[in-house]
Amino acid sequence: MDFNKSDFGENFIWGAAQASYQTEGAWNTDGKGMSVWDKFSQTKGNIERNENGNTATDFYHKYKEDLLLLKSMNFKHFRFSLSWSRIFPKGTGEINQKGVEFYHKVIDKCLEVEIIPWVTIYHWDHPQILEVQGGWTNRKMVDWFSEYTDFVSKEYGFKVKNWMILNEPLSFTVNGYMLGTMAPGKKGVTNFRKAVHHANLCQAEGGRIVRKNVPVANIGTTHFTSFIEGQTNKDTKAAERMDALINRIFIEPSLGMGYPEDKLHFLKTMKKFMLPGDIEKMKFNFDFIGLQYYFRTVVKKSPFVPFVWAKEVTAKQRGVEANEMNGEVYPEGFYQLMKRFSSYEGVKKIIITENGSCFNDVIDNNKIPDNERIEYFKSHLSEILRIQKENIKIDGYFVWSLTDNFEWEKGFRPRFGLVYVDYNNLKRYIKKSGLWFKELLK
């Protein structure tokens, strides 16, 4: 091993992460309402091989087993999300007490085995009944989300200190409301702009609500990031436009900087959806920013992609090392993004809230020798040590993910977990990468 746990600092946070829809299953159990992902994945043609998350990894019934596996790998922190529709089956109003109790049991089990819980309030699975009313394209989402956040922060705040408001708003707005490849499957730039603005408002308002209800809380929100480069020097401006879309459109409003209109001119039309005072309402003083990095994106200018006028040149097209989802393995980009995000005035702390990769894991005599994933972790953790030598503090690292799970529109094919799940019987097997972390964190 090229480094050890102590190299990262005595108080460095080591954890693993997962999300409600990707793992819980029990989609209509104990009073849970339908979420947009229930609806989307149950609609034929939306998911590879027509799979769905109805059962997922059955974390709803196997949470004790999974938390003990996490404990056995010597992790001290667990990031998970709440299912809005499990708590508010109708989106607002009536509370489902059995859903509320489920998360109490998860939190209590964490505390019992000395694992610190980190709660993500929203990880893409809002109630379908709210989507019928427009979902994130409806400004009422701010009120709906506020009611939900107010309840869960009061309910769990005396047990949970660490809170994340939104998970990767870029992903659910671009893929869910512009491209239509994820739930709820809407398309169009108008839907996208509305969803982006309302997500920015909720991101900040959620922070204010948690701060009011849990004064001692450590509050953050998470951002999908990718290191963007042009394929040639002629593609520099295309890369700048793509960078504004991917890396700037949510963090800069939260810092009071507004939208990155300097590079993405179409964002000037956001004013049509804004009310007086919205710039200030999108601002919140987060205790930390969650940075989520998986791969580099190389682009070239394109007249066929409206608004951004840039197109990705995939890892496969470039013939470079990539994972099962064609994401380039590029640790240097991780370093560049940590450096960049830390340079923003107003960013007090950075925690890596997701990092990991999917490879073609094959079980062999109850063992999964996932050496490629181990090399991925080694190379990316080395970049954290590199940035720390420059006195840029990265306070923690969450592996994505604890177990293999339902990878959204890709179904169960991509495996990100430290723990292999046999989807025929839901048996769990710690992979070699999980054992590698166990040794690192002992």
Active centre residues (catalytic): 168, 354
Contact yes or no for 216/197 (Cβ under 8 A): no
3-state secondary structure (DSSP) of residue 17 = strand
Contact yes or no for 310/301 (Cβ under 8 A): yes
Single-letter amino acid code for the residue at 6: S
Contact yes or no for 387/339 (Cβ under 8 A): yes
Listed residue (113, 116, 89) closest to 100, CA to CA:
89
Percentage helix, strand, coil for the chain under 3-state DSSP, each rounded to 5: 40, 20, 40
DSSP-assigned letters across all residues of 256-272: T----TTT-GGGGGGGG
DSSP conformation class of 246: I
Angstrom distance (rounded) from CA 247 to CA 292: 11
Contact yes or no for 135/181 (Cβ under 8 A): no
Angstrom distance (rounded) from CA 242 to CA 245: 5
Contact yes or no for 130/89 (Cβ under 8 A): no
Q: Which two tokens stand for residue 315?
A: 């890892």
DSSP conformation class of 231: S
Angstrom distance (rounded) from CA 338 to CA 121: 24
Q: Rounded to whole angstroms, what are the CA distances from 45 to 41, 298, 423?
A: 9, 29, 21
Angstrom distance (rounded) from CA 244 to CA 96: 40
Contact yes or no for 392/338 (Cβ under 8 A): yes
Angstrom distance (rounded) from CA 47 to CA 407: 10
- Residue in the block written with tokens 């730039």: 189
- Residue in the block written with tokens 């746990």: 5
> Please, is 95 exposed, middle or buried when counting C-beta atoms within 10 Å of its C-beta (0-12, 13-18, 19+)?
middle
Neighbours of 232 (CB within 10 A): 11
